[in-house]
Each structure stands twice: as C-alpha cells, then as structure tokens.
Amino acid sequence: MQQTTGAIPTCRSQAWPALVAKLNSLGLSLPILACLAVLAMAPLFVSDEYTLRLLVISLYFGSLAMTFDFTGGYINAVNFGFAAFVGLGAYAAALVAIHTALGAWAGLLAGALLTGLIGFFTGLLTLPLRGIYVSLMSWFVGMTLMALATAMEGVTRGARGLIVPPIYENATTTAYLYILLGMFLVVYIILRLILRSPVGLAFRAIGQNYDAAQASGVNPTRYKLLNFTISSACAGLFGGFYAHYVGIVTPDVMSMGYTLEVMALSFIGGSGSLLGGVFAAFLLIPLFDSLKRLTEFRLILYGLLLILVMIFYPAGLAGLYQTAIQKINLKRRKS
C-alpha cells in the first residue's frame, strides 16, 4: 500500500494476494472458484441435453443440501419438514406466475418471503423446545403444510398439481443452469458472510453447547429464530426455481422422501461445511443416474450411505477433505 515507486510486477504480486484474501473472505477459495468455473463453462463443451439436466438437478439438490446444512450443521437443529418449505416456495412462485403478471422473479421473491415468514413462525413455535423437539415440531409443521396443499383444492388443485410456465419464454436448460448457478452463488456468499460474522460464531456456539452459549450471553432463541428464518427463505427461493424448471407442482414435492434425500446429501457431505452437500450431490446424483440399474435402488443407497456415515464417519466428505489437507500440509512442513 505504501509502495510509491514499485514496478508493475511487484504491484501485481501484492494485488494478487489481496484479491485472494478478499475472495477467501467471501468463501471463494481457489479450489472452489475452479470448480465453479468448470461448472460455468460446462455448457460450452457439453451440448447433450441429458448431461445438462443432470448438472441442473445436481446443483439444485446441492443448493438444498447447503441450505439444510446452514441449520442442521451449525445450530444443530435438523429441520425435518425441509421439503415442505421448499414446496411452499414452489407453490408461492407458481401461484404468482399463474395469477399475476409480475413475472417469474417476483414469484421467486414472493416464495422466499412467504417461506421465510412461515419459517419464522415455525421458529417461534419451537422456541420453548430444544434438541430433538425441534425436529419433531418441524416435521409436524411440514406435514401440516403438505396436508394443506392437498386439501386446499381451490388454490392448489390438490393432487392434480399446478402447471407452471417456464421462467421466461423458450428458456433452455443452459439458461436454467446459469440462473441456478447465479442464485446458488448469491445464497452461498450470503450464508458464508453470515457464518463468518459474529452471528455465525453465535450459531456455532449454540450448536456445540447450548447451555455454555447461553451462559456466555448469547441469546439462543433470537439466533435460532434468525437462522431458521434465513434457511427457510433460501429453501423457498430454490423451491420457486424448481417450480419453473420442472413445470408442475404437486403436493408430492413436500413429501418426506425429498427431505431425507437432502438430509442424506448434507450429512454425507459433512455437516457444518456448507459445500460438503454440494459436492456430495455432484458425486452421487450423476453416479446413481448413470448406472441405470441403480436408479431403482437410489433411495436404498442413500439410506445405507447415511447409516454408514452416521456410524463410521460422522465428519463426512468435508472431514475427509480436511484430513487430506492437513496431511499434505504436515508433509510440506516436514520437507
């Protein structure tokens, strides 16, 4: 900074670490940026519709796993009604797109806001509750939402589902991929910034030791509420995307199976890592899909993987990555 006479190379050599540090603080370390770049360039090399769709679905489930992990991995509260929140966002976006002329983006925003609001009230309900009660309560709220979506035939057309127009006319799969990638990046950076701030520290404190956090002046209730609202809103946002992408919303999107799938991805990826679930999604979803015979056994494999991870390696993929990095660093230091 104080350099006044520095030649251009030194200037660059200083600007580069500064930029890296800046990106790091946004949660975009170099390996992550590389992965994002590969994903962003994928449509240039892949014209195959099937592969592109696979990428969109992987990124979609990865985004959901990330959002899930923001609650599950940090404040240690497993939202067992997660799919219902996603579905609520999907319904809100669908209804806005069908009944108003505000456009798809307004619908996505409405979905996020409504879901955030419901998440806030669910948080309020779970306030006096702790630990496993939070999971139970969110499960019951999720089931209520699904029952409502099925019962309110006048609004949601019940089990027949709502037909949703595409996000804009003639939107291609590539366009959806870029839109989702943009949404993913924005949400990821916001979540990462929150986690890096004192608020994030409070989240982790609550997750690790509730009583100790309370004793050291953290108001668990307020932070839990904040966390739950944010992750619900994000779930609703991605749900809105899903409604436009798939083109139909039925109460089925709120079913337990989706929650379990997202949960499995998030825990296989490693809880408390945000990106672990995304990597798990890109690893597992194409894998299960490419082995056509495995598709039938997909849920069995998810379940088995979840069981194995829980018993033998609770740190998940993120833990594996961390240990690998540590070993490499140790070796470097030795040599």
Instruction: Summarize as ranges the residues that interact with other proteins (CB under 8 A).
Output: 76, 78, 125, 128-133, 135-137, 139-141, 143-144, 147-148, 150-151, 210, 256-257, 260, 263-264, 267, 296-297, 299-300, 302-307, 310-312, 314
Shortest distance, CB of residue 36 to other proteins, whole angstroms?
A: 29
169: left (phi over 0), alpha (psi -120 to 50) or beta: beta
Shortest distance, CB of residue 78 to other proteins, whole angstroms?
A: 6
Shortest distance, CB of residue 193 to other proteins, whole angstroms?
A: 27
Judge whether 255 and 146 are in contact, CB under 8 Å. yes
Q: Locate the DSSP E strands across the chain.
A: 162-163, 248-249
Shortest distance, CB of residue 251 to other proteins, whole angstroms?
A: 10
147/186 with CB nearer other proteins: 147
125/190 with CB nearer other proteins: 125
**Rounded distance, CA 49 to CA 174, Å?**
9
- Sort 18 into a burial class: Cβ within 10 Å, 0-12 / 13-18 / 19+: exposed
Shortest distance, CB of residue 209 to other proteins, whole angstroms?
A: 9
107/119 with CB nearer other proteins: 119
94/306 with CB nearer other proteins: 306
3-state secondary structure labels for all residues of the chain: CCCCCCCHHHHHHHHHHHHHHHHHHCCCCHHHHHHHHHHHHHHHHCCCHHHHHHHHHHHHHHHHHHHHHHHHCCCCCCCCCHHHHHHHHHHHHHHHHHHCCCCHHHHHHHHHHHHHHHHHHHHHHHCCCCCHHHHHHHHHHHHHHHHHHHHCHHHHCHHHCEECCCCCCCCCHHHHHHHHHHHHHHHHHHHHHHHHCHHHHHHHHHHHCHHHHHHCCCCHHHHHHHHHHHHHHHHHHHHHHHHHHHCEECHHHHCHHHHHHHHHHHHHHCCCCCCHHHHHHHHHHHHHHHCHHHHCCHHHHHHHHHHHHHHHCCCHHHHHHHHHHHHHHHHHHHC
Shortest distance, CB of residue 259 to other proteins, whole angstroms?
A: 9
Shortest distance, CB of residue 52 to other proteins, whole angstroms?
A: 28
207/240 with CB nearer other proteins: 207
46/136 with CB nearer other proteins: 136
Q: Is 78 helix (H, G, I), strand (E, B) or coil?
A: coil
185/283 with CB nearer other proteins: 283
42/143 with CB nearer other proteins: 143
Shortest distance, CB of residue 84 to other proteins, whole angstroms?
A: 11
52/149 with CB nearer other proteins: 149
Shortest distance, CB of residue 124 to other proteins, whole angstroms?
A: 9
